Homo-oligomer: A and B are copies of this chain.
Amino acid sequence: MEAETIVTACVLIIGNEILSGRTQDINLNYLAIGLNEAGIRLREARVIPDIDAVIIATVNEVRPKYDYIFTTGGIGPTHDDITSECVARAFGVKLVLHQEAKQILEAHYKGRMGPDAELNEARLRMAHVPEGATLIYNPVSGASGFRIENVFVMAGVPAIMQAMFEEVKPGLKGGRPVLARSLACRLGEGTLARGLGEIQARYPDVDIGSYPWFRNGALGVSLVARSPDEARLALAANEVAALIRSLGDTPVEE
């Protein structure tokens, strides 16, 4: 059996608005699902504030640890948009005007009227990227993200972030996607725990998780098996289903 290639990623959510509670982040979940589809294991995510020293230190801490780093937030035209500059400083390169990014912005603002049509200095900031970076196109608002080495810098607005991620996703090199089987039942976790632990011990290559929930006032648990190997996953899931039945309940595939 050949060794499996495990490709890893880390997400950095950059923005005071998440840490203040103003905004409920939904980018992490989108990226988690998309990375899994690309066969990439999301190993860690961090939410950090708009503070240059923190952004620089965090980027430099995580980029040697994971295959891919994805950042969200802080690439707009205002004073609190400092991600691009910080990533340049993290890599020790200059932040430079990218001619194509500028042309895209020019085309974007060309057909507009009023103050929002002006490609002013603030908007031109969005055409600056670290030297050597390549663009991530943004069909929504025209302001590009960029990639430098293994770091992908994307917008924080979900619609734009999603468009940027879909733009780069086909080019990501992942391993086999992790497949999942989820079985719900109404037993207590503590009732399932011993048998579930025994199954996990027999399937160390399958990640088995137990997630209790309350839905419409009722209590239940979802037992989730995850593995890139479909056959092993099916075997483990069958054992989980048998465990639920042995305890007097009926597993419901989710």
Contact = CB atoms under 8 A, between A and B. Distances in A.
Contacts of A23: 29, 211
Interface in A203-238: 207-214, 224, 226
Contacts of A28: 18, 25, 47
A122 B44 contact: no
A230 to B, nearest CB: 17
B19 A42 contact: yes
A21 B209 CA distance: 13
Interface in A94-130: 114-116, 118, 120-123, 125-126
Contact of A178 (B20, B47, B116, B213): B20
A158 to B, nearest CB: 9
Given A21-B33, A42-B20, A122 B207 contact: no
Interface string A29-49: 111111110000111111111
A26 interface: yes
Contacts of A178: 20
Interface string A85-96: 000000000000
25 contacts: A16-B209, A17-B209, A18-B28, A18-B32, A19-B32, A20-B36, A20-B178, A21-B33, A21-B42, A22-B180, A22-B209, A22-B211, A24-B26, A24-B29, A25-B29, A44-B46, A77-B189, A78-B193, A78-B196, A79-B197, A80-B200, A115-B188, A123-B190, A123-B193, A157-B212
